[in-house]
Structure formats: C-alpha cells, structure tokens
Chains A and B, each alone.
Chain A
C-alpha cells in the first residue's frame, strides 16, 4: 500500500488549483463562447425592459388608441416617436404593440410545440396504426403553404370579433406539423438508446420512461422548437396584419404598418409612422434567430467547431 501511495500524485497544493469552478463561472464561460445566444437574449431583454418601463410610465390604455393626442406630429420632445394620422402616440403604440405581438408569438409557439410534442411522442413511442395515421396527416399537410390557409381562415372571420387571442389561435392551427415531425424523429432515436433499455428492463412503466428518461433529454430540442414556433407565429400574424386581416382595433405592430400603408404614410411624408414598427419587428426577428442559433449550438456541440 505504501508503495502505491508513493507513486501516486501527492495530495498537496495542486489539488486546490484544480478546484472545480462554480456553476456560475461555468455558465459565464459558456456564454462568452456562445455569442449569438447572449446577443439574442440581450435584445429580447432590452425589448422587455422597453415594454415594462413603457407601460409603467405611459398611459398606454389611452394613448395607444385613436384620438388621444395631436395627429401627424413628427418626433419631438413631447412625442419622442411622433404621432400618427389617427392621433395615437407612437411611443405608446410601440410599447403596447410589442407586448401584444409577443403574446401572439408566445401562445402560437406554446400551442404548436405542445401539440407537436404530444403527437410526436404518441407517433414514435407507440408506433403502429397511430404512427401511420399521424405521419400521413402531417406529410400531406406539410407541403401546403400554411399561410395561404391562414389568410383564408382570417378572411372568413367577422372582422370585428378578431382579438389578439383569436389571432394567436388561428396562427397556431397549422403550426404543429413541423414540431411533430422533429419530435417524432428525436423520440425514435432516443428510445433505442441504452439508458432507455436499462430503464425498461429495470421495470419502469412506459409513462415513467417517457417523463423521466426521454423528456429531459429532449429539452433543448423542445426549447429550440418553441423559439422557432414563436418566430413563425409572429411571422404569420405579421403577414395577416399587413393584409388587413389583423385585429384592427389593437395597436399590433403589423396593424400599425398596415394603417401607415393604407394612409400612404411615405407619400405624405410621415416617415416615422411605419419606420418604428418596422425596426421593432426587425429586432424581434433577429433576436429570435440569434437565440435559435445559440440553442442549436447548445444542443449539438458538433456544430461548435465548424467555424
């Protein structure tokens, strides 16, 4: 025993230098490498702060709706972003619009991903007739450009009854096929892994395996699918809004752009009116893409070194 101990490393000062860094330090180090994730989250944080501080300091309930302020004013000290043709304070419109747009995206992302996870699990885990049915439906629906169908649905609904929530539900109607396919493929590959077999041999029930073994391993994919879903939801609702099919009473970002277009804002020289919502949307889309790239890097470390 003593001989072996003599050969081994001496437990002295070296031990202290190799101390495991704390969790926070590790996260910090990782974030420094994953720049797109950080940048994306930073933009989302900035937009969130904008809406939170904005809705605390401005009366958005009133100023974001018509006839609240002097119309057609360019940006000034009193109206930092200007006012529109209908007498809305564009700062209040942006505060409320970004919030509403985010709500639509979040609902659509949650519904699309949720349905996708459930159908993907059913399809992959049980196989057989269930799998054939779910696959056939998704395969047939996927090539149909969902947006065209959404346009028709939104166009058929009585325009006055559309709210941001109906909008969110319309948008999520055809948002589950992509997630279903991704989740199915993931579950198929995971359920053949060794640890799932071990769990099954050790007597775990199907439900236990799904929730304790497979689901935790899918979290990065579910998260990425959710972010894509939010992106797609905002994208689709924006498309509907600029066709004039949105909830017209609300200061949604897409609606604001549509109204500006309807009133020929550029021709009339009210350049600030469509400009702010466009910039806000660019920021939202870019930040979501950055987050998705960052999550992809987190989930597939192999992508990391391809730069």
Chain B
C-alpha cells in the first residue's frame, strides 16, 4: 500500500500549505494600514512630491492591483494565481513582480542556508557520535556541555557577539553587507572571494547555533545503539573499530537524524531571516523584513508561501528517501 501512503502524505502537505496560505492571506488585510498610501507618504516625505489628486491616484492603484474587490474574491483570485505560478506584483516596488524579487534574493539565501545546514549536520553528527563512542578521547565528551549552551543562544545573538569580537575589536572580517562597496556583482574571482569573506561570520553564527542540536541528538542515539546485539557481535567478530564505528554504529544512529533534517529546515529559515537582517544581506530575510515594515502584502504572501512550500517539499522528499536509507522501513503495514 505504498501508493496509498504517498497519496495521504501529499494530501497532508497540501493541507498544510493551504492552511498556511489562508492564514497568511487574511492577517495583513485585517489591519487598517494601506501600503499604497504609506508609500506615497514616504515619497512625499523624501522628495516633496505631493500631487493634489493623491486620493484618485491611490484609488487607481487599488483598482490596478485588484484591492478594491471584495476580500473573498481577491482570495479566490490570488489562490488561482498561485496555482498558475503567479505571485502577483509588488505593491511598493511596483514594476517588479514578487517572483522576480524572490528569485533575485534566493541565491544568497540558498548558498548561506544550504552550506551552513550541511556543515552543521556533518560536524554536529560526527561530534555527537564521537561523544557517545567509548574509545574516543575525553575532550570530545567535554565539548557537549558548551555545544548545548551554544544551542540555547539564537544565531542572531551569536552573530552580534561575533561582529563585536571578530569584526569590531579584531577587525579580521567585515561587519556586514554582502560584498564590499565599490565592487559590482559579477562572476569574477575577485567578487566571489569578496562575497565569501562577507559570508563567513553569518555562516559561523548559524553553524554554532545549530551544531548542538545535531550533536546532542546523535549522542542520544549513539548511546542506545551501544548496547545493541549487532554492535556486540561485530566487536566479538574482531572487526576493526573504525569499521564498527562507520558501518554499524554511525549508519544506524544517523537514520532518525535525517528525519530531523526536514524539521530543522523550518527553524533554519527563521534564524536565517534574522541573521540576514543583522548582516544586511540581500537574501529572502532582508526582503521579508522590508516588506513587513512597508506592509507590501503580495511580497509577504509570496515569501511565506515560498518558504512553507519548500519545507513541505523537503518533508516529502525525506519521506521518500527514508526507506532507501533504512531498508527496515516500508510504508506497507498501514
């Protein structure tokens, strides 16, 4: 009944995305704020441009974006657009569409989050496995307590302290921004190296904050596997400790951690949003923060939907991959 399981799983994820999209659609509309009026007020403040027929202009824009229709009709039309892959225009950066904005911000976010998640997953699990392994040196076990403390601290705060000590005091790395001023983004070696230098501190803060999660989980798993018959059997067979460690011990302990990877993605994105904001990186986080301050509905909807959809797809992929990693699990019995 593998097909039945898959169908149920897909329906569940569609429900998750739909509920999230609906909540997200209605909340900003309950507020009395008008993003178009606010945008014009901002223009008036900065340039002194204040047309007499402001009310008509605002009304015209509302008609253009379909904001004058009944809310329910807007909801149906927006959802229809989403299904066709159309996330609507940006209200405050008008000629640009939401999809354009997301795709120009996405590479920064993907590089930062993918890289840090993978490094943290690999390093954390290795440390956790070593901490539970009786033959490993004592200092690895001593690392667990500091890792647990680090895990308690939000990546944003770690980032702030890193800026203070490493960028501000020691002046080793830049304090923020995605690349140095005066360099134009291009695919040259110079630009890539410069951008990489700017990514080091954000990456370290994200890695340090999530390392403990993997290490502690892995250590817990490792301890339970320690007493299993097959590990004892492998030892009595006289296998090399390294073989036991990699083939018998880590392989089995790692399985639940892979499931954790999909769940962790949600929190990674959240800390990613905050860290991007802290370092002033042009990723999704910066875009979302800006859109919320200006109440740009369509950008808010677009990014949230995008994030929730990617989480749902990742959860689904992990479900698919899991039986390949663990032959004991087949979605048959239920």
Chain A positions near chain B (C-beta within 8 angstroms): 139-141, 143-145, 147-149, 151-153, 155-158, 231, 235, 238-239, 242-245, 257, 261, 266-267, 271, 274-275, 278, 281-282, 285-286, 288-289, 293, 306
Is the beta-carbon distance between B175 and A158 smaller than 8 angstroms?
A: no
**B195 CB-CB contact with A under 8 Å:** no
**B251 CB-CB contact with A under 8 Å:** no
- Contacting residues, chain B, for A158 (C-beta < 8 A): 31-33
A143 CA to B167 CA in the complex, in Å? Answer: 36
Is the beta-carbon distance between B292 and A243 smaller than 8 angstroms?
A: yes
Tell me which of A156, A239, A275, A286 contacts B156 (CB under 8 A): A239
A sample of 20 inter-chain contacts (CB < 8 A) reads A140-B12, A143-B263, A144-B16, A144-B23, A144-B266, A145-B266, A145-B307, A147-B270, A147-B273, A148-B270, A148-B308, A149-B20, A155-B293, A156-B28, A158-B31, A238-B154, A242-B156, A266-B168, A271-B164, A285-B154
Further pairs besides A144-B23, A153-B27, A239-B274: 15, Cβ < 8 Å: A140-B15, A143-B263, A143-B266, A144-B20, A144-B308, A147-B270, A151-B288, A152-B292, A152-B300, A155-B295, A156-B27, A156-B28, A158-B32, A266-B163, A286-B152
| A289-B270 CB under 8 A given contacts A144-B20, A278-B157 | no
Within the complex, the shortest CB–CB distance from A264 to chain B, in Å, comes to 9
Is the beta-carbon distance between B27 and A239 smaller than 8 angstroms?
A: no
- In the complex, which residues 262-293 of chain B have their Cβ closer than 8 Å to any Cβ of chain A? 263, 266-267, 269-270, 273-274, 277-278, 288-289, 292-293
A266 CA to B279 CA in the complex, in Å? Answer: 12
A126 CA to B119 CA in the complex, in Å? Answer: 46
**B129 CB-CB contact with A under 8 Å:** no
Q: Chain B: how many interface residues by the 8 Å CB criterion?
A: 50
**B255 CB-CB contact with A under 8 Å:** no
Is the beta-carbon distance between A156 and B33 smaller than 8 angstroms?
A: yes
| A235-B154 CB under 8 A given contacts A140-B16, A145-B269 | yes
Is the beta-carbon distance between B148 and A289 smaller than 8 angstroms?
A: yes
A64 CA to B31 CA in the complex, in Å? Answer: 31
Tell me which of A145, A149, A243, A306 contacts B274 (CB under 8 A): A243
- Contacting residues, chain B, for A152 (C-beta < 8 A): 24, 27-28, 292, 300, 304
- Contacting residues, chain A, for B277 (C-beta < 8 A): 242-243
**B223 CB-CB contact with A under 8 Å:** yes
Is the beta-carbon distance between B164 and A266 smaller than 8 angstroms?
A: yes
Digitize B303-334: 1 where CB-to-A-CB distance is under 8 Å, 0 elsewhere.
01001100110010000000000000000000
| A281-B157 CB under 8 A given contacts A140-B15, A242-B277 | yes
Within the complex, the shortest CB–CB distance from B17 to chain A, in Å, comes to 9
Within the complex, the shortest CB–CB distance from B139 to chain A, in Å, comes to 15
**B151 CB-CB contact with A under 8 Å:** yes
Tell me which of B23, B32, B148 contacts A149 (CB under 8 A): B23
